[in-house]
Structures are given as structure tokens and as C-alpha cells.
Amino acid sequence: MAVGTDGSTPDESRRRLADELKRVRQLSGLSGRDLADKIHISQSKISRIESGAAFPSLPEVRAWAEAVEASDDTRRMLDAMAEAAHTTILRWQSALKDRPHLQHSVEKDERSARRVLTFQPSVIPGLLQTAEYARRVFEMFQEPSYTPDRLAAAVTARLERQSLLHDPRRRFNFLITEAALRWRPSTTAMLAAQIDRISSLSTLGNVTVGVLPFSRQAAVPYSHGFTVYEPAEAEDDVLVNAETIHANLQLVREADVAVYQRRWSALDRSALHGDEARSVLQGLVVELRATDG
């Protein structure tokens, strides 16, 4: 649950913006079709914005206010609400205070996307994790610490998310550094099994795994992990989740999103893919099993 400057979550702040946009349209007497014609977006997007299923860009909010002839005060209010909702901050400790995990929120973003681009410099991405690896990650990284019941719920929900990998309507692209692949939260046998799973999943038609090995020159410095969600609906905005130690940033502002898209492209150019990536993965498995033996 991300928290805005007013203490609201993303869903709450965006729901309020959607409600206010619907209210001012209804007060103006414009139908959804009339408004769509005035601001040059589809009527279906108007409906999805008002229902909270789609998130409007800042220019769309301003065009909406212009079309309904909103007062200056209402325009300033809508502008401020949209600005606040375009960048939200998830503070891990407060987000987990009243819920066992955040996996359902992540899954919601994944289900709304046609393509998901994930870069991880330090840990295996959640969609690729085995149950044991996921359990270790939750134990080591989440605050407050998990009770056995909370831990079991979190691991189960993460594994349930992985069913999306087998949906051919969606594409998943992963970039993983060798450092992340070598990070060992438990036994070498557990890590070898984890890397075997990544290699297997990389053969799915809608999944690609890029490996950034130590031996390959990097195009750009590695950064914190981030995920880019490209929407299923062409009119909707691209969403970025950027993970930091204390919090997760959720970004939809076009200029901010473009920074992450450029970084993804640069990293992808440095990565090994396909059989080359699987060769690196299998080499790590052989090394780990030899060490374990």
C-alpha cells in the first residue's frame, strides 16, 4: 500500500480523483460521449477513468477540467489531486502493518499489463522464485517480521501470481544480474534449484530472461530494481514500480517513466539472452552443485 503526502494509498487517492472527475462532468451536463469528443479520447476510457480502472494523465485531467468549464478553484484542486496521485510512496513497514503481504496489489498491476519488464540487481524476481527461495526472501527482507501464518500466506500468494507466466496474452521480460543469481539466502542446493527453475521458465514463449554477467561490459551503472508495466489498453499510461530499501515508488508521470524505459533499454543491450543466457545459468548450477558436493 503506497502512501501519498496526505496519508492516502494509491487506490484511495486515485479513487478520489476518479470520483471528482465524474462529479464535475455530471455537474456540467456533459455525457461521457460528449466529453470524449471534446478532449479527444474514447468514451470507453472516460468510463474506465470514472470507474477507477484507468488512470488519467495530467494533460487529460486539465483537458477534462477545461471541457466541463470548471471553476478556477476546481481546476486547481483537480490539478493538485492528479499531481499527488502520479507519484506515490510505499513504505514497507507501514504497508505491512495491517496486512500479511502485498502480493495481491502487485498481481493487480501484472494483470492489467500486456508486458511486464523487470530488472533485478540483487535478488531473483518474485515471479521466478521457488517456494523455498521466496520464503527466505520474506524472512530476511520484510519488516515487521513475519509470523508463521503471515509468512505462509505471503509465500502462497507469490506462487499464485506465477500462474500469469503461463498466460500467452501477456509477455514477461526479466533482466537479472549475475550478482542477484549468486546471492544465496540458504543452501547451495536451494540456489541451484532456483536457477534451474529460471532456466526452465525462460523457454516459455512469452517469457524472456536476460542475464547481465560479470564478464560482460555494462552499458550503464546498475541501479535499484524496478518494474515497468506496459498497459493492455493502448490509451492507458505506463506504470513503473521502483524498489528502494525503505519504500517502493509508483510512477506514472510520462517524463519519469521515460527515464526507466531508457535505463531498461540500455541494460537490455548489455544482457545475454536465449541460449547464451541459459548457458550462463546452467554453468552456475554446475558450479553450485560442485561446491555443494
pLDDT of residue 201: 97
pLDDT of residue 228: 97
Nearest residue to 222 (alpha-carbon basis) of 211, 209, 208, 237: 211
pLDDT of residue 32: 92
Is the Cβ–Cβ distance between 6 and 100 less than 8 Å?
no
**Helix pair 274-292, 188-201: axis angle to 10 deg:** 160
pLDDT of residue 187: 93
Cα–Cα distance, 217 to 95 (Å, whole number): 38
Residues of the chain with pLDDT under 70: 1-11, 87, 90-98, 142-145, 293
pLDDT of residue 10: 53
pLDDT of residue 5: 41
Please give the backbone phi and psi of residue 242, each rounded to the nearest 5 degrees, phi first: -115, 120
Cα–Cα distance, 176 to 127 (Å, whole number): 12
The ranges assigned to domains in the chain are 10-88, 100-292
Q: How many other CB atoms sit within 10 Å of the CB of residue 88?
A: 24
Residues β-bridged to residue 207: 172
pLDDT of residue 97: 67
- CATH topology for 100-292? Endonuclease; Chain A (3.30.870)
Cα-Cα-Cα-Cα dihedral sign, residues 26, 29, 31, 35: negative
Q: Is it true that domain 10-88 has CATH number 3.30.420.40?
A: no
Please give the backbone phi and psi of residue 281, each rounded to the nearest 5 degrees, phi first: -60, -45
pLDDT of residue 93: 67
Phi-psi region of 227 (alpha: psi -120 to 50; beta: other; left: phi over 0): beta
Cα–Cα distance, 14 to 20 (Å, whole number): 10
Distances (CA, A) of 54 to 9, 57, 109, 113, 236: 16, 10, 11, 12, 6
pLDDT of residue 139: 86
Radius of gyration of the chain (CA): 21
pTM of the model: 0.78
Is the Cβ–Cβ distance between 284 and 290 less than 8 Å?
no
